[in-house]
Structure 1
Amino acid sequence: MAKLYDRDINRRLIERILESRRFIQVLYGPRQVGKTTAIKQVLKEIDLPSHYASADQPTLRNEVWLEEQWEIGRLKAKENKAAVLVFDEIQKVSDWSEVVKRLWDEDTFNNLPLRVILLGSSQLLIQKGLTESLAGRFELIRAGHWSFSECQDYFGWDLDTYIFYGGYPGAAPLIREPERWVRYIQDSLI
């Protein structure tokens, strides 16, 4: 297995996690550009306890599940004087923004040093929840397609290859099989 690539967004996430608790950090961007990989790398690197929860499974998408996961994060923060709580694919949870607002505000009132990071790939769903309920409580970190320098460093691409195939890391191993590459890209847009 190839070594995971340490992107610039990793440094930004670490800096914000290690600051005093101020805002919810929202890591968003298209599918398969490395959001989950980045946060998992960051959680291994920082010296804080953490809890990672993914809303990928349909049975988990509700308010009770969010509250349960948040309580795990709270317990870790109380035991260790700080902790990080990550929700991946947050947009898949119904009415997530109202629950997150309520819990975040409770922790703010109680001075609980729980850092919260939300990951999502659907910009419209994320933005709707953020602007409706969480205005003033979050910062955005965009995880976009990979830059030319990232593709050059990790895949050894020259500029022509990057221009033709773009910075979509999930599809990079398929560039020697053009038909398969096209299908993968098309299927990713569904």
Structure 2
Amino acid sequence: MSYERPLLAPLRAALSRPTPVVHVLIGPRQVGKTTITRQIQESIGISSIYATADSLVPLDSAWIETQWRRAVAEEAASGGPEIRVLILGSSALLMQQGLTESLAGRFFLHRCTHWGYPA
């Protein structure tokens, strides 16, 4: 049995169609951000790549460029739709500060919260 968080359906729908914005999924550690991402990858029906920036060594712009080139190459090889970007992060305040400075108006923020119990 596989559990799907309520956030999965709207996020999958948003990433299933061409979108001009970067989607950002934020929330505390261990709430299911990566699990949701993997479930989307398995069910969306388009090729995808996954890259993690969790590194002991700080990553620079060259790492970002490498990931972008991987995505462009994958998209060209598959003849697939335009590239969609989903960024995950647990440091909401730091991410929001960086996003508002560099991607103002070009991203959509999704919040992944702790598990709830329906009443």
Shared fold, TM over 0.5: yes
- 1:127 has 2:100 as partner: no
- TM-score scaled to structure 1, two decimals? 0.59
**Partner SS, residue 8 of structure 2:** helix
Structure holding more helix per residue: 1
C-alpha separation in 2, matches of 1:39 and 1:124:
21
C-alpha separation in 1, matches of 2:58 and 2:10:
29
- Pick aligned residue for 2:65 from 64, 67, 70: 67
1:21 to partner: Cα distance: 2.2
Structure 1 segments, 4+ long, off by >6 Å, are none
C-alpha separation in 2, matches of 1:114 and 1:82:
8
1:59 to partner: Cα distance: 3.2
What is the root-mean-square deviation in Å for CA atoms of aligned residues?
1.6
Deviations 1:14-68 (A, max 9, x none): 1011122221000001111000111011101111000100111223622111111
Higher relative contact order (CA 8 A, sep 6+): 2
C-alpha separation in 1, matches of 2:33 and 2:66:
23
Report the structure number with the largest CA radius of gyration: 1
Deviations 1:93-136 (A, max 9, x none): xxxxxxxxxxxxxxxxxxxx110000000011111111101011
- TM-score scaled to structure 2, two decimals? 0.91
C-alpha separation in 2, matches of 1:61 and 1:5:
33
1:82 to partner: Cα distance: 3.2
1:17-166 equivalence runs, <5 A: 17-59=15-57, 61-82=59-80, 113-149=82-118
- May I ask how many residue pairs the two structures share in their alignment? 119
Unmatched 5+ stretches in structure 2: none
C-alpha separation in 1, matches of 2:8 and 2:79:
23
